[in-house]
Chain A
Amino acid sequence: MSGEAKPSHKGGGFQLKVRGPREFYGGLALIALAIIAILASSELPGQHGFAFGPGTAPRMFATMLAVAGALVVLMGLLIDGPPVESFAIRGPSYVLVAILLFAGMIRGIDLNMIGLPFKIPSLGMVVSTFTAFIISIMGSSEMRWVESLIAAMVMTAFCVALFVYLLGLPFQLWPAF
């Protein structure tokens, strides 16, 4: 498991170290996912008689995924590969916040369930779309306010026209408290 450079006694003294970090850590994550899946489906009844139970297939595929993950880890130990590129934080965070805000605002959400003493009222499509646009555009390094506000208004109007008037989807447009 550990990526330390420990001399291995097998294979005539080659070093056991992480050669392909993308594979090594990727494989570890897959193994973790497989273990979660096995735990999550451990209570489901398995095969009885000739019939598969609901738990059979998930456990089967999860086990196979764990094996595949282990092989990928092995690949990371044996084959040289490029390092993992650093993850950008700024852009993705803004985009993520924008999407989550949209989800929270369009119908309203009580954040008590994740332990926050807030309640977002149901703000409707116009406000949520406009907010999501502005927040996500802030993730760009070249954002300009005037241009962005105009674009946000145009896009909001376009979406309202398309989804609500042309397609006739039953969206709540304006805030309702």
Chain B
Amino acid sequence: MTDLLANLALGFSVAANPYNIGFCLLGTLVGTLVGVLPGIGTVATVAMLLPITFGLPPIGALIMLAGIYYGAQYGGSTTSILVNIPGEATSVVTCLDGHQMARQGRAGAALSISAIGSFFAGCVATVLVAALGVPLTSLALLFGPAEYFSLMVLGLIFAVVLAKGSVLKAIAMILMGLLLSMVGSDLETGAGRMTFDIPELSDGIGFTNVAMGLFGFAEIIRNLEMSQESRNIVNAKISGLMPTRQDLIDSSGAIVRGTILGSILGILPGGGAVVASFAAYTFEKRVSKHPERFGRGAIQGVAAPESANNAAAQTSFIPLLTLGIPPNAVMALMVGAMTIHGIVPGPQVMTKQPELFWGMIASMWLGNLMLVIINLPLVGVWVTLLRVPYRLLYPSIIVFCCIGIYSINNSPTDVVIAAIFGLVGYWLVKHDFEPAPLVLAFVLGPLMEENLRRAMLIARGDVTVFATRPISAGLLAVAILLLVLAALPAIRKRRDEVFVESKN
């Protein structure tokens, strides 16, 4: 406990450095800004803004990127409540009750409850990250290649189970991601693999190109074909930001439940904020004494998902920082960012660079505080931004993405690759394939192959090594169990229900 306090103190001393506070502020503001704007998701945002952080010191860069991530969660809710268009996938369910509240003239209460819920969740998650960091890191030191491989298999299976739609198709996406990640030079022999003699491919396909293509360009192409529905912004002046005492009492349970659910789902690989918000809403509706109020402006329907997505956004840093394994696509981008700054994510970050580890954790708490203090008064500004029509917004996003991709390696080829993945992403959406598992597998691919090869070499070609080492066997058993459960009809129905909620 004293260790924890000492560590947190170190963290706060790093985070309170004026520069780092500045980066944190900038990150949360930019994150909120992009979160508010519909039509561009968190993954694309982080990918887009990655180049901007190259010139910063490592701590500042990571603090800013983390700020962008949870700022976007927060910003998404503003759009959901006021315009009924989710700014982010994580705020889809917030629309259901949030916008109803706004129509009843309670936009202020909805916004502030979502802020309070997010802040509470952020506080709990920060403590959780700090508390779980040390034990999980020591666990990670017991891991050999076989365990790492099994852990990544488990992570990918989680991504399959938590993905929307068919389990089989999600598995296919995982395999496609793994295959794509093998393009380029072989790690051990340097042999060019599946490069088709194109020199630009010998380094492999850049992760940011894939992410920007699948999430940035593909989303824009997809949005373009939808009719440009007029946005009915709630024009009434937002008065009474403070929730009433009754609102607080009504939502306190939902906030706590959402936070717990979100924290758990965030740690699990493959999960993250989107699933957390859906699950929290469904759960809240189920435990409520008045489920009929949901969808008609129930404050719990705002409090639970907003707390959950914020908690999940933060706890998803746990596997990344302790085990070095990104649990979702945004964390995969964080791996990219860390690698660019010469940091290898994993258990050694905490021991070798404690100021980075704890500084980042402390900055999350500060960032959450900033979101509450700064954003509530700024609601009016964000709403004004929504009046920028989409026809002007999307060319700006495209241009910005192009320059961002180009700036990473000064390579026009990267821009072309991203464009190709934009088309691939468009095709995937049309055929009901989820791009998220693909991206996760794409990042884990090289790590997985490396550990698989090492494990096989150490075990002298004995495949049973994965089943005879206890930790590895346990992880694989959980993976198989999950897959079986997901395939069972009863569970599948329940799982579909969670996702269907968004369409109602």
Contact = CB atoms under 8 A, between A and B. Distances in A.
Q: Do A and B come from one complex?
A: yes
A102 B220 CA distance: 17
B193 A41 contact: yes
B331 interface: no
B225 A102 contact: no
B172 A65 contact: yes
B391 A143 contact: yes
Given A50-B460, A137-B392, A23 B419 contact: no
B188 interface: yes
B106 to A, nearest CB: 33
Contacts of A136: 394-395, 398-399
A25 B395 contact: no
Given A57-B452, A106-B412, A140 B169 contact: no
Contact of A155 (B168, B171, B395, B416): B395
Given A37-B194, A61-B175, A65-B175, A102 B395 contact: no
Interface string B48-61: 00011011000000
Interface stretch (B87-95, B306-314, B429-437): B429-437
Interface in A106-141: 106-107, 109, 125, 129, 132-134, 136-137, 139-141
B419 A65 contact: no
Nearest to A95: B221
A75 B399 contact: no
Contact of B189 (A54, A98, A171): A54
A25 B168 contact: no
Nearest to A107: B412
A170 B389 CA distance: 32
B454 to A, nearest CB: 10
Nearest to B189: A54
Contact of B461 (A50, A64, A167): A50
Interface in B390-448: 391-392, 394-396, 398-400, 402-403, 406-407, 410, 412-413, 415-416, 418-419, 422-423, 426-427, 430-433
A54 B407 contact: no
Contact of A95 (B193, B391, B410, B422): B422
Contacts of A69: 172
A58 B179 contact: yes
B217 interface: yes
Nearest to B171: A68
A136 to B, nearest CB: 4
Contacts of B191: 44-45, 54
A18 interface: no
B176 interface: yes
B209 to A, nearest CB: 11
Chain A CB within 10 A, most for which of B172, B194, B413, B459 = B172
A152 interface: yes
Given A41-B193, A54-B189, A58-B194, A92 B398 contact: no
A77 B326 CA distance: 36
A99 B217 contact: yes
Interface of A: 22-23, 25-27, 29-30, 33-34, 37, 40-41, 44-45, 49-55, 57-58, 61-62, 64-65, 68-69, 71-72, 75, 81, 84-85, 87-88, 91-92, 95-96, 98-100, 102-104, 106-107, 109, 125, 129, 132-134, 136-137, 139-143, 147-148, 151-152, 155-156, 159, 162-163, 167-171
Interface of B: 51-52, 54-55, 166, 168-169, 171-172, 175-176, 178-179, 182, 186, 188-189, 191, 193-194, 196, 217, 220-221, 224-225, 228, 389, 391-392, 394-396, 398-400, 402-403, 406-407, 410, 412-413, 415-416, 418-419, 422-423, 426-427, 430-433, 449, 452-453, 456-457, 459-461
Going nearest first, the 4 A-B pairs with the smallest beta carbon separation are A91-B224, A54-B186, A26-B431, A50-B461
